[in-house]
Amino acid sequence: MTTGYAGYDKRAVPEPDPEFARVGPDTPCGEWLRRWWQPIAMAAELTERPLALRVLGEDLVLFRDRGGRIGLLHKHCSHRGASLEFGIPMPRGLSCCYHGWTYDIDGRLLEAPAEPAGNRLTEQVVHGAYPVEQQDGLVFAYLGPPAARPPLPAFDTTRTAADAVPFAIRMPCHWLQVYENTQDPVHVVYLHTRMSGAQFGDASGAEQAIDYRATPLGMVNVQTRRWGGHLWTRMTETILPNANQTGAIWEAADRPKTFQRAALLRWMVPLDDAATLVIGWRFFSAELDPAGLGDRAAVGKQTIDFLGQTEDRPYAERQRQPGDYEVQVSQRPIAVHALEHLASSDQGVAMLRRLIRRGIRNVQAGNPPAAYPVTADGRVATHCQDTVRAAPAADADAPAVLRRFGSAVADAVLATADLSAAERPAAIAARIGGPP
């Protein structure tokens, strides 16, 4: 029997789950996340000056030397600790402003000019550094153990005809509450449609049949709706450890299509325990946005072209029409799982947390995480997609009809993951019927 006015008895706020909450060096979650390349900045942020950043609780400095090479160094100089954000890029490496110690991009000390000739410092001192690589306007870093470094992946959605526009948005909260939102398809109908007015197109507010599937990369949620004369199945994807792919932002689902790809590939990169960089690419093409609702000029540092992703709106408006930013950041700086009441609508969130916990414990036990499978064309096949077909004349809204269609699409997408990107759409269409 419940009684009301329980405020006095419910004041305690326990510590967040430490297995998820901590991301710094030598923490279980931090070590797990360090087994993959992580995007840390947009290449456009790299000027002639170094860039101070925090990644996974570490203070770092990213720079481009005058030879055009990019380095990522521990922030505090190995000499006496001055920050290298005040350093001077050299033709080769970065010079600390205090006494001129110069580090190569791999952290080797090239020069200590205040020391007498013949000193052995350059053989004795190595500064902390991490490997970096660029891909399509993003800078990726690998902060894990050198012997376990995987290749930088090329996801199939980054090799399409769509233009990839980089963006990076800082959010003042724990990375997992941003990430798990992507496996909460139920909020699309509530937050983004019924509560705040249709934020991402009317079709996304239709009743949906939802399913969740494990994939070789993580998981997908499978959302199937009837909209007008069509059935539409969307798969929103989790690529472990912390990447997500999402379909067209304003999908109208008004014509048949097969395996239309992602409008967004983003990583939720922890800066520290209570701050996250949401960084990735927004994809633009006529196919993804036939009505031209997107705006690539609004995609970049601390900005993206759809509602509710930053704090950049008046408070009253954020209250009247809250978006993802408001709900995620307001779950506390680090959400306290012990205070939640997970319900049937949280199946995806629970599944994602299970996958992450399993991954963390696997690395903690000394095992490497599974490598991303690569197809013959050198790409990592992913599963985010939208497929639309004409609805049957009768019972198009029946949950069983939606479920059957969604299942057929998900089966076809998952079964074709070993094909090349060029072969896959036709193979999926052949399995579910209708046009490729």
Binding track over 277-316 against ligand FES, x by CB under 6 A: ----------------------------------------
- Answer yes or no whether residue 79 interacts with ligand FES by CB under 6 A: yes
**Which of the choices ligand FES, Fe ion, none does residue 85 contact, using the CB cut-off of 5 to 8 A by kind?**
none
Q: Measure CA 123 to chain center.
A: 40
* Contact assessment for residue 46 and residue 367, using Cβ atoms and an 8 Å cutoff: no
Facing residues of 67 across strands?
none
Kindly determine how many residues on this chain lie close enough to bind Fe ion according to the rule CB under 5 A. Answer: 1
**Which of the choices ligand FES, Fe ion, none does residue 77 contact, using the CB cut-off of 5 to 8 A by kind?**
ligand FES
- Answer yes or no whether residue 180 interacts with Fe ion by CB under 5 A: no
- Answer yes or no whether residue 31 interacts with Fe ion by CB under 5 A: no
Q: How far is the CB of 97 from ligand FES (least distance, A)?
A: 7
CA angle 295, 298, 304 (to 5 degrees): 100
CB atoms within 10 A of CB 44: 13
Binding track over 87-106 against ligand FES, x by CB under 6 A: ---------x-xxxx-----
Q: How far apart are CA 123 and CA 177, in angstroms?
A: 45
Q: How far is the CB of 46 from ligand FES (least distance, A)?
A: 21
* Binding region for Fe ion (CB under 5 A) out of 272-280, 318-326, 336-344, 358-366: 318-326
**Which of the choices ligand FES, Fe ion, none does residue 324 contact, using the CB cut-off of 5 to 8 A by kind?**
Fe ion
- Answer yes or no whether residue 324 interacts with Fe ion by CB under 5 A: yes
* Contact assessment for residue 48 and residue 65, using Cβ atoms and an 8 Å cutoff: no
Q: How far is the CB of 327 from ligand FES (least distance, A)?
A: 44
Tokens of 161: 């005809």
Tokens of 354: 């299970």
Q: How far is the CB of 181 from Fe ion (least distance, A)?
A: 6
Q: Out of 23, 40, 77, 408, which residue is the one contacting ligand FES (CB under 6 A)?
A: 77
**Is the CB of 102 or the CB of 135 nearer to ligand FES?**
102
Select from 329, 340, 332, 344 the least CA-distant residue to 268: 329
Select from 102, 92, 97 the least CA-distant residue to 125: 102
Q: Out of 25, 66, 67, 80, which residue is the one contacting ligand FES (CB under 6 A)?
A: 80
**Is the CB of 136 or the CB of 326 nearer to Fe ion?**
326
Tokens of 68: 């055009």
Beta strand spans in 45-179 (E)? 51-55, 58-64, 70-74, 88-89, 94-95, 102-103, 109-111, 129-130, 132-135, 138-141, 163-171
User: How long is the chain?
Assistant: 436
Which spans of this chain sit near ligand FES (rule: CB under 6 A)? 77, 79-82, 96, 98-101
